[in-house]
Structure 1
């Protein structure tokens, strides 16, 4: 039996996130592999301590890192007492490395350290994240397993003839770099259009500054701020996208890049964190996380038909070989079975 401690509202369409999608898709795939998975949302009156205290004998408890960082004390107490009261083993699914963010809150960094120190197993979403956890002394190498996100979707056919339909997916926040994207677009030539899909409510001040930046540059009418979109709406966006742009300053993996490439859509991404792993060997351009780097690459994409054709051809050829959620679940399954 697997008890999965996840953030409250994990299936709320207004709270779409890469972490929530990962949790839900892996839970479904693990059930297909024979696990009895019980999602246990944590938030409000339901805490991680409640989940750990009520875990049945012999259960494995998988804890989303957002939950672990919010409630690190129950993990530490369980370690002192000899795992949980029922003898369950605990694994933490580390979607990100809090300490790697320049703007990270000191209390959250300390909570991450305490939570991960007492987990029997840590699942990292990229080799970069694993290496960061080890290098920062947060987890011994023997207790970390990499389980990269998979991707849904199939090849899409819709394309514009000049490659000018751009898409950026992710919460509008400093670490996602939408300000860098706006500056790059302001310098880009051609009749491009760009859709930014992601919540503007996480950091409203940053979102307002980015919108004002676009307005000052005179490009507001060419950027659509779509906000949070559901899966069907996102599929429709992918279907008319020529290039996915991931301008992140920090990224543990890059699920949007992986999903685009799974559909045969080329990717322009910052060379940071786990994004090079998400982009892989073909179908992508990696640049420094700067407006200049992004702008130069966008100019090449828009003005060079040969480059567009080559990258699109590579992305479409590689699409069927991209990792699936079954691959992700297989890695998680093997790691969790080592705890039983």
Structure 2
């Protein structure tokens, strides 16, 4: 049997990037030829050189030049696997009329109202209907794909790489570098809806000692975050990119999620696996992911978010309970090997008819 050839199309989100790095390494180790198409700069940022996959820089756009580059990269592929909505739409356009099966993984959903919301729904329909199989990381996403016309939508939880978790973190050093010695350390990630997080941080200034909130995730929201932090004198620091989340969490007292986006479920998974108590907004399938192993509050409710954090800081027994519940829940999640084996079974299912036709 000839070597299976796959192309992974990546949009650049933190959760999907971590998943693709893990998936590419696992597939290469199992004899699959892997090409990763992603925006320039993603190669080193997400550890792709170490996976053994071929990397092709493709702009994060759907203009003719970007689509042509992706179409060329997909030539000769047996399976193309797109991760995220916009990557899926670009792949669907590039594969039009070529007969190459498209697998799409939805890691999270985009949120918008008005004209942009209507456009996103159109893109979701395009992506769902173009895919031979849609894999959703939560039942919420699976149901959404089915509503958008997916022929075949399945649950496929995505494990995150174990390499993101420090083996023996120096908690004291990390806290000292952040300025969190002798005060609680809260860790979050930049997301849509960060205004709620900063509103909550205003309430924490009344505590003694004042907790420090470290927010990971440099990106388009960093400028707005910095401006508001400086203007209001908030006890908040920006602390690196998404790749730094594991190290930050290892030093944290509480993880906090207020918004929406790919980085949220990723932080939630890492927090529970590390036994860090989590306070999170009910968004992006998080209730399904964490169950009763976290404190959940309504999305957009800064008062509820602030209150939940304050209560946890004053209740060591509850923090210990959540830490244990989180580790227990995380132990039941699929491993990287489980995730790779499941994806490979999907590829084999789609490749068999192609092999028979060629024979």
TM-score for both structures, normalised by structure 2: 0.74
Does the aligned pair in 1 maintain the 2:6–2:77 contact within 8 Å? no
> Which 10-residue stretch deviates more, 23-32 or 319-328?
319-328
Q: 1:3 aligns to what?
A: 6
Rounded Cα–Cα distance in structure 2 between residues aligned with 1:126 and 1:64: 14
Q: Offset at 1:336?
A: 2.2
Whole-angstrom distance in 1 between the partners of 2:350 and 2:264 = 25
The change in CA–CA distance for 1:53 and 1:316 in structure 2 (over 3 A counts) is closer
Structure 1 unaligned segments of length 5 or more: list them.
11-15, 79-83
Structure 2 residue aligned with 1:270: 281
**1:122 paired residue number:** 134
SS at match of 1:254: helix
CA distance in 1, matches of 2:70, 2:154: 23
1:175-227 deviation per Cα after TM superposition (whole angstroms, max 9, x unaligned): 2x22111111211334211100012x4246xx42x4444445442xx211124
Aligned to 2:81: 62
Distance across 1 between alignment mates of 2:273 and 2:263? 19
Aligned residue number for residue 212 of structure 2: 193
**Cross-structure match for 1:334:** 345
TM-score, normalised to structure 1, is: 0.77
* Residue of structure 1 equivalent to 2:35: 38
Within a 5 Å distance, the mapping from 1:1-340 to structure 2 comes to: 1-7=4-10, 17-40=14-37, 41=56, 42-43=58-59, 47-49=66-68, 51-52=70-71, 55=74, 59-65=78-84, 66-70=86-90, 72-75=92-95, 77-78=96-97, 84=98, 87-98=99-110, 100-102=111-113, 104=116, 106-135=118-147, 137-140=148-151, 143-151=152-160, 152=162, 153=165, 158=171, 164-169=184-189, 172-173=190-191, 175=192, 177-188=193-204, 189-191=207-209, 192-199=211-218, 201-203=219-221, 207-208=223-224, 210-219=225-234, 222-228=235-241, 231=243, 233-249=244-260, 254-282=265-293, 284-289=294-299, 290-340=301-351
Q: Is the 8 A contact 1:125 1:252 kept in 2?
A: no
Q: Which runs of 5+ in 2 are unaligned?
A: 38-55, 176-180, 352-359
Over the aligned positions, Cα root-mean-square deviation in angstroms equals: 3.2
CA contact (8 A) 2:260 2:283 kept: yes
Taking structure 1 as reference, are residues 309 and 48 closer, same or farther at Cα in structure 2, changes over 3 Å only?
Answer: same
Q: Matches of 1:144 and 1:318 in 2, distance apart?
A: 25
Distance 1:190 1:277 in 2: 34
1:249 Cα offset (Å): 4.2
User: Which of structures 1 and 2 has the larger relative contact order (alpha carbons within 8 angstroms, sep 6+)?
Assistant: 1
Whether the 8 Å contact between 2:68 and 2:94 is mirrored in structure 1 is yes
- CA offset digits 1:107-163 (Å, max 9, x no partner): 45423322321221112222111112223x2424xx112222213237877489998
* Mapped partners of 2:188, 2:127: distance in 1: 32
1:298 and 1:95, CA in 2 relative to 1: closer, same or farther beyond 3 A? same
**1:150–1:324 Cα contact (<8 Å) kept:** yes
8 A Cα contact 1:181 1:247, kept in partner: yes
Residue correspondences, number: 309
CA distance in 1, matches of 2:77, 2:232: 59
